[in-house]
Structure 1
Amino acid sequence: MNKKSPFFTAIAASILYFIILILLRYFADHSSIDWQGALLGAIIFWIVIFVVHQFLRKRYSD
């Protein structure tokens, strides 16, 4: 079975998180968007997804 890289998984998840966060803030607030906060949140989300992916891979590796 061909498994995806943890980098790909983390990047895809953080890009989706960033887009959804921007859309939710725009539609909920209709004012300026905090781009730095959204980018910082996406970076933290990337780190969390990457660490969890590595932990699960080590724990359940064959």
Structure 2
Amino acid sequence: MLIFRWLASLLLLGSALCFVFYLGTGQARYKRWGLLVLKWTVVAALAFFAVLIFGRIV
């Protein structure tokens, strides 16, 4: 659990940094990277919670 929390926090921080770089430089690649990292963070979180719910059901 602790590892997942740290991983999710670091991924969100990385996404935020990408958006800050985008605001600072105006380069679209940072926005794409930020959205990509954010998307996979949400996917990973949904998978994690699905496993927790499945574990409770079974």
* TM-score using structure 2 length: 0.54
**Which segments of 5 or more consecutive residues in structure 1 lack a partner in the other structure?**
19-31
Partner of 2:39: 44
Rounded to whole Å, the distance in 2 between the matches of 1:59 and 1:48 is 16
User: What is the total number of aligned residue pairs between the two structures?
Assistant: 45
Superposition CA RMSD, Å: 3.5
Identity %: 7
Give per-residue Cα distances to partners, 1:34-60, cap 9 Å, x unaligned: 100000001001100000000001101
The runs of 5 or more residues in structure 2 that have no matched partner are 16-26
- CA drift of 1:33 comes to 7.5
Contact (CA 8 Å) 1:11, 1:46: kept in 2 or not? yes
Counterpart of 1:11 in structure 2 is 8
Change (3 A) 1:6 1:47: farther
